[in-house]
Amino acid sequence: MHTIDHAELADVFNKDEARVDWHDETLWWIRQKRDKAVNQLPEWELLRETASKIKENVLSNLAGYLEEFEGNAQKNGIIVHWAADAKEHNQIVLNLLKGKGINKMVKSKSMLTEECHLNEHLEHNGIEVIDSDLGERIVQLAKEPPSHIVLPCIHKKKEEIGDLFHEYLGTPAGNADPQFLTETARQHLREVFLTRRAALTGVNFAVAETGEFVVCTNEGNADMGAHLSEIHIASMGMEKLIPKRENLGVFLRLLTRSATGQPITTYSSHFSKPRSGTEIHVIIVDNGRSQQLGRPDFRNSLKCIRCGSCMNTCPVYRRSGGHSYHNAIAGPIGAILAPNLDMEKYADLPFASTLCGSCSNVCPVKIDIHQQLYKWRQVIVQKGYAATGKKAAMKMMSLTLASPTAYHLGGKAGRFVMKYAPIAVNNKLNPWYKQRDMPEPPKESFGEWYTKNRKA
Amino acid sequence: MSTARERILNAVRANQPASTPLPEIIIPASEIDLSTKFTETLNNIGGKVIAVNNYADILNYLEEATATRLLNISSIPELQQLRTLDHIPRMPHSLQDTELAIIKAKFGVAENGAVWITEDLLDQRVLPFICQHLMVVLDASSIVANMHQAYEKIGMESYGYGAFIAGPSKTADIEQSLVLGAHGSRSMTIFLINA
Ligand code: SF4
């Protein structure tokens, strides 16, 4: 069976070079905003280290914290559900809605529901779901998945959004003014918030010691949905737990500075008890997380707080687009989470990286992302899932790195080939050179330069 | 058959690594002038700060505001005379035409311009979100430097709902152009009382 892989999907994205440049520059601009925010905090590295250690403690005592959270949430009047996989999660949501005779729901951002394909499941069962985050609403109208976990429609031009709004929301043709389009969405979604009896939100953090959970948004859509509905369902990956309320201080300082360079999201809402006459349900979802917890090389990926900064900084993500990862979560972190769920289907993703390490450098919880990508490559090759092209490239790479002679010869041969026969390099065996202009080969290598110059 | 809960907890127990300690949070706060930093930060994120000395100043400032369609003032006895809604709404939906809401915050955070609000300060949880414009009364002396101090202040306080609110609702989802007034309030003004 042939599954479409990252390289092929990246080819599609790379056909429009101007758009690739624009995508690349936009994300880099966000990365720079992150840097500016981070540089204002002399304690940044201490914060990252503390966050990473807190998450380590969480992962090493996860069962206990889950029970503690459940108990405290129940004391607060929250109803707690457990879902072993996506199917169970979707079924729980459906049953809750059906039990109340509800057939329309408003949803705020939740990457977990993307991972579980909740919208499709509910729609098959006659329930309408409207995504209320502006970026998610836009991709929903376009019938596309989000291409980024924080910036769902970062791949879309405003003219395309104007066209979508013209078609679905009746705005004048050709109007692509962000202010005008946002105002239109505000009016349209206000009507939705006021008429929905059920709201679903994600969970950014859940506190074991208090049984509360925190949802962060800039738009205020999670709150509009939750405070106007009679049932609030919060879907939560089980790694979202933190031990204590005071730990929130660490994570809220890191999250948005890493994501967009803001000092905090506009709203950080703490849900502890339902309003009188209404219900809050929390669904704790495993869906492969306990399995990832059992992989010593990859368990750190569960520390992720979904800030998206590893995507913004990734040279491959920036130039291949989120959809090329064919997974709910794109980018470097998506590439280490996905193979855990289906190694064959996502065998290509750990190869969609230059291993430059930029992701690990920006990660606010210090996940060794690029090292995990490298380790996945080895697992995938060993299990026989690697595509032929990548296998050959990998072999070549480990061969050259293992032998200094081969490294020097390989370099020389490579420079020769690039100079005289660039077509030969631009073939299927070299996945990273497709659709890219070959760089000007240096006349001499560092090794040759060094030998010549150290005597001088 | 075992429940999902048992299956999940068993799998987690089998797979979680040896326990590591929970670190203490020892992160020093920078020496800053709290009111100045708070004002600066809030301005940067689209909010506005009006320095006042007392509630009389606020009433003066709001003289024209009473002409607006619907004004909701939650739990601030000193400003109740401005309130145009004569009852506490039973349904949150009935607040949908609120033009301006004025609420009190428990404290502010200098590093990010956020104010901490709990449910007991609101007629309804939805109020600061559903109103077109939001004004918040804040004591300058209540401002803390950073989020660690903020949670120290909150401690183990019990609330049904609490939120940090930092500036007006915003989005940059369309080509990263910043637009204020996504789904929540279009503006946020803080009356900073320097007593
Ligand atoms: S892996 Fe790290 S950088 Fe990437 S989204 Fe998660 S927390 Fe952010």
Asked if residue A37 lies in contact with residue A257, where contact means CB atoms within 8 angstroms, the answer is yes
- pLDDT per position as a tens digit, A261-320: 999 999 999 999 999 999 999 999 999 999 999 999 999 999 999 999 999 999 999 999
A259 lines ligand 1 (CB under 6 A): no
H or E element that contains B35: helix B34-44
- Comparing CB atoms, the residue among A178, A189, A249 nearest residue B174 is A178
Cα–Cα distance list, A317 to A10, A227, A302, A334, B34 (Å)? 9, 37, 21, 11, 40
Task: For residue A419, give its domain range.
Answer: 403-453
Ligand 1 and A336: CB distance under 6 A:
no
Q: How many CB atoms lie within 10 A of CB B88?
A: 9
Q: Is A111 in the pocket of ligand 1 (CB under 6 A)?
A: no
Check: CB of residue A324 under 8 Å from CB of residue A303.
no
**Torsion of the alpha carbons at A362, A364, A365 and A367, rounded to the nearest 10:** -20
Could you tell me if residue A381 is inside a domain? no
Predicted confidence at residue A7, as pLDDT, reads 87
Residue A311, in any domain of the structure:
no
A431 has a pLDDT exceeding 80: no
Report how far residue A450's alpha carbon sits from residue A53's, in angstroms, rounded to the nearest whole number: 42
Whole-model pTM: value is: 0.89
ipTM: 0.96
Give the integer Cα–Cα distance in Å for A323 and A325: 5
Asked, for residue A410, whether it belongs to a domain, the answer is yes
- Computed on alpha carbons and rounded to an integer, the radius of gyration of chain B in Å comes to 20
Quick one: what percent of chain B has pLDDT higher than 70? Answer: 96
Phi, psi at residue A24, to the nearest 5°?
A: -60, -50
Q: Give alpha helix (H) positions in A40-133.
A: 44-60, 62-75, 86-99, 111-115, 118-124
From A116-125, A211-220, A257-266, A398-407, the region with the lowest mean pLDDT = A398-407
Find tokens 């291993």 and name the residue: A355
Ligand 1: does its nearest atom lie under 6 Å from the Cβ of A363? yes
B89 touches A at CB < 8 Å: no
Q: Is the CB of A237 under 6 A from ligand 1?
A: no
The last residue of a domain, from among A259, A290, A321: A290
Separation of first and last alpha carbons in chain B = 65
User: What contacts A125, CB < 8 A, 6 or more positions away?
Assistant: A94
Query: Looking at the structure, do residues A105 and A245 belong to the same domain, yes or no?
Result: yes
Residue B83 near residue B72 (C-beta atoms within 8 A): yes
> What are the Cα distances from residue A73, in Å, to A208, A209, A276, B38, B115?
8, 9, 16, 34, 25
For chains A and B, CB pairs below 8 A equal 240
| DSSP designation for A263 | S
Q: How far apart are CA A135 and CA A112, in angstroms?
A: 16
A385 within domain boundaries? no
For residue B83, the CA-to-ligand 1 centroid distance in Å is 46
Domain locations along chain B: 32-193
Angle at alpha carbon of residue A1, lines to A297 and A379, rounded to 5°: 15
> Which has the closest alpha carbon to A193: B98, B104, B93?
B93
A395 in any annotated domain:
no
Q: For B32-193, which CATH class?
A: alpha beta
Q: What is the pLDDT of residues A74-112, one digit of tens each?
A: 999 999 999 999 999 999 999 999 999 999 999 999 999
* Residue among B21, B176, B182 whose CB faces A134 most closely: B182
Mutate to test the pocket of ligand 1, among A31, A307, A329, A373 (most ligand atoms within 8 A of CB): A307
Q: Kindly state the tokens that stand for B195.
A: 């007593």
Expressed in angstroms, the distance from the first to the final Cα of chain A is 58
**A83: CA distance to ligand 1 center in Å?**
24
Sheet containing B133-139: order of strands: B48-52, B187-193, B133-139, B100-104, B71-73
Q: Domain boundary at A269, A290, A311, which?
A: A290
What residues pair up with A404 in beta bridges, in sequence order? none
Contact between chains at B169 and A274 (C-beta distance less than 8 A): no
Whose C-alpha lies nearest to ligand 1, atom 8?
A307
Backbone torsions φ then ψ of A281, nearest 5 degrees: -120, 130
Percent helix, strand and coil across chain A, each to the nearest 5: 55, 10, 35
Nearest residue of A to residue B25, measured between CA atoms: A50
Mean pLDDT of A138-157: 95
Residue type at A287 in one-letter notation:
N
Residue of B12, B13, B22 lying closest to A54 (CB–CB): B22
Element spanning A319, H or E:
helix A315-320
Contact A302, B17 (CB under 8 A): no
- Pairwise CB contact (< 8 Å): A252 & B147: yes
- Looking at the 3D structure of chain A, how many domains does it have? 2
Question: In the sheet where A79-83 sits, what is the strand order?
Answer: A79-83, A279-285, A231-237, A198-201, A104-107, A128-131
Mean residue pLDDT across chain B: 92
Q: Is the CB of A364 under 6 A from ligand 1?
A: yes
Listed residues A272, A290, A308: the one ending a domain? A290
Q: pLDDT tens, A32-65?
A: 999 999 999 999 999 999 999 999 999 999 999 9
Residue of B143, B138, B118 whose CA lies nearest to B128 = B118
Q: Are residues A407 and A286 part of one domain? A: no
Minimum CA–CA partner of A297 in chain B:
B17
Domain of residue A195, CATH code: 3.40.50.10420
In a domain, A348, yes or no: no
pLDDT band at A386 (very low <50, low <70, confident <90, very high): confident
Residue of A109, A150, A218 for testing the chain B interface, max B β-carbons within 10 Å: A218
pLDDT of B160 higher than 90 = yes
Q: Which residues contact A427 (CB under 8 A, 6 or more apart)?
A: none
